[in-house]
Amino acid sequence: MKLIDPALASLATAKNLLLDPWGLSESDMARAISEIFTHKVDYADLYFQYTRSEGWSLEEGIVKTGSFSITQGVGVRAVAGEKTAFAYSDALSPEALLSSARAVRSIARQGAGKAKIHDDKIAKGRGLYQPVDPLQTLSAPEKVALLERVEKMACARDPHVKQVMASLGMEYDVVMIAASDGRLTADVRPLVRLSLSVVVERNGRRESGNAGGGGRSGLMYFTDEILREYVEKAVHEAMVSLDARPAPAGEMTVVLAAGWPGILLHEAVGHGLEGDFNRKGSSVFSGRVGQRVASKGVTVVDDGTIEGRRGSLNVDDEGNATQRNVLIEDGILRGYMQDTLNARLMKTAPTGNGRRESFAHLPMPRMTNTFMLSGNTEPDEIVASVKKGIYAANFGGGQVDITSGKFVFSASEAYMIENGRITYPIKGATLIGSGPEAMNRVEMIGNNMSLDSGVGTCGKEGQSVPVGVGMPTIKMEGLTVGGTA
């Protein structure tokens, strides 16, 4: 059996979808880059994309909505110093490509530049996920049956369940990047996600719970075991809320559960470690590489190389291989996440974090899977060490100010801790603080780091990309809690 290199296989797929049907060739890409370099620019690239997506939602046993879309196009970028020119076209043709190339070269300095357009360097690829088309992994009736199955599981889980809403989304994304340094890269990116929401009622009081997950796979990902996990989590969250009391307010000890609560780390710390904010000096972490920014034992990693994860990529959206980047090590800031532009201006190397929502958007430094590494403490020991505090098991929404690092997060599932024991659930707890201060108040780190189930979507400057988050159970002292009591 002959093994096929993932990079070559992805490139063949990309050419079949993005070049051949439209009469485009590699020589047309080289000509477009040459056209840009008739003026003096530092760097240029072409980003081709084909995306096919589908969605289904079910409520009360009926498919209420369905969607299907195909988008395709090319984004053309030229960079000169700190200036960037960008044009895109949803028409794929030699003429449209040349027109976009001529539009972006206008930012160039006087004189001609030089591109290594004939190097024909195919970037080495990885196989972090199979290049399957998720839309084809189940038939339409089977997709509906999958949603019906999870709905029945939820209704059977507890008699208090009164309403179930389930949705299924899948995406087949093929990208190809031609860069002026001679690299030609492609990636075939499947993505699936199932979301579940339940409403429970008891004695006239109604509450809701949510769960879901997914990854870079086909729909076979959603086994009965995984569906039961989603049902258990959603129903548990809703039932706990029925008994929740108003949350107290004030400064207190907070314990964060492992997994999805890592969204606080993502928002309050991760964004502040993206290269563009630090190059411009607008991040609270600017100029602090080598300095202590968190408690001893706190190590934060961004890793785009974890197999099958929602935030993982074989290559980023500039054709650079993703990496495992240690951002904070034992409390010391080690570096930032970089795309090509900011890395060049900050005289460092790209870290595989150049990401964009689509061909119609510019790339920028973005997170992939961001998490805190485990410590050595048993989670039960952490809870037992708290005389009075809050245990935040799950989070809803949150906001952060990159410049100051200040954040506000609402807990969707939380409990009181009294004398070392989790006692009763609370409702309306809000965590308020700043990322650097919170990271310096970490006193205990659990040995149970886990990643989220595959639901994260990160927004930045109007662009959304899929991400992963995670953390172990941690204890923070002196965090401000906004409550309802």
Q: Which amino acid is at 259?
A: G
Give the model confidence (pLDDT) of 274-318 as tens digits. 999 999 999 999 999 999 999 999 999 999 999 999 999 999 999
Confidence band, pLDDT 50/70/90 cuts, at residue 1: very low
Q: Which of 110-114, 351-355, 398-402 has the highest mean pLDDT?
A: 351-355
d(C-alpha 30, C-alpha 178), whole Å:
8
Specify the range with the lowest mean pLDDT, choosing from 102-116, 246-260, 465-479: 102-116
Q: Which of 281, 279, 199 is nearest to 241 (CA)?
A: 199
Do 210 and 150 meet the contact criterion of CB atoms below 8 Å apart?
Answer: no
Q: What's the pTM value of the predicted model, to 2 decimals?
A: 0.94
Give the model confidence (pLDDT) of 31-82 as tens digits. 999 999 988 899 999 999 999 999 999 998 899 899 999 999 999 999 999 9
Q: Residue 73 burial (CB < 10 Å; 0-12/13-18/19+)?
A: buried
Q: Which residue has the tokens 């024991």?
A: 421
Give the model confidence (pLDDT) of 2-13 as tens digits. 446 788 899 999
Q: How many other C-beta atoms are found inside a 10 Å radius of the C-beta of residue 25?
A: 13
Give me 253's structure tokens: 């000890």
Average pLDDT score, the chain: 93
Give residues with Cβ within 8 angstroms of 272, minimum separation 6: 278, 283, 284, 285, 402, 405, 435, 436
Determine phi and psi for 473, rounding to 5 degrees: -65, 130
Indicate left, alpha or beta for 115 from its phi (over 0: left) and psi (-120 to 50: alpha): beta
Per-residue pLDDT at 401 exceeds 50: yes
**Residue 109 confidence (pLDDT):** 57
Quickly list H helices, 222-274.
224-242, 262-265
